[in-house]
A and B are shown apart, each in its own frame.
Chain A
Amino acid sequence: AQRVTQPEKLLSVFKGAPVELKCNYSYSGSPELFWYVQYSRQRLQLLLRHISRESIKGFTADLNKGETSFHLKKPFAQEEDSAMYYCALSEETSGSRLTFGEGTQLTVNP
């Protein structure tokens, strides 16, 4: 069965420091990977998806099929990046179904 693992529940960095949120997955097919973000008192929203290969709010994520990873990176963290981040996986034939990781709470300190 598919599984998404985010090894860090909490991550704290200082403003201006690089940040990397880890995500590993297990799935035998060709998955589509996503990062979702939930800012304080806001709804869960899509941050980026691997298939679009774009940078959103300075964040990038590269799908590494060899290591089955999809880590989220930003070279210079900002205080407004503090939020809960979820990695999610979608299977080829599962419609809109998403399998989420446990989430990582990122805190960017001033």
Chain B
Amino acid sequence: KAGVTQTPRYLIKTRGQQVTLSCSPISGHRSVSWYQQTPGQGLQFLFEYFSETQRNKGNFPGRFSGRQFSNSRSEMNVSTLELGDSALYLCASSLHSGSQYEQFFGPGTRLTVL
């Protein structure tokens, strides 16, 4: 069974631009969660999508948004990029929404904002 895939793996953008990151969950998984990982703040929850609906949202500004498609693939978008948005963005998928379902993480997308 193929694991969680994320594209692209690396991105370089400049301040003010916007970016879209993609996550393909494990086949059959319906829940996708996104996390931001930085040296200073560690791993922080961005949002979770389940059956095309946002299930949970972390404490991030409205510049961070996401969506999920009918095939469970998910995208997250960051508009008006700031230097502080430079981070590793991880997505994780699970069969359903809920802590009883093991989450499987992707390799991450490394975003650098110049």
- Mark A residues whose CB is within 8 Å of B: 32, 43-46, 51, 86, 90-91, 94-103
Contacts and interface: CB of A to CB of B under 8 A. Distances in A.
A102 B42 CA distance: 6
Nearest to A36: B105
A94 to B, nearest CB: 6
B66 interface: no
Contact of A103 (B4, B35, B42, B103): B42
B55 A43 contact: no
Interface in B93-114: 94, 97-107
9 contacts: A43-B3, A43-B105, A43-B106, A46-B103, A95-B48, A96-B101, A97-B58, A100-B42, A100-B43
Interface in B52-103: 55-56, 58, 90, 92, 94, 97-103
Nearest to B3: A43
Contacts of B92: 44, 96
A62 B94 CA distance: 24
B105 A45 contact: yes
A97 B103 contact: no
A45 B104 CA distance: 7
A74 B101 CA distance: 25
Nearest to A86: B43
A51 B50 CA distance: 23
Contacts of B106: 43
B45 A99 contact: yes
Contact of A97 (B56, B100, B102): B56
Given A43-B3, A86-B43, A103-B42, A98 B103 contact: yes
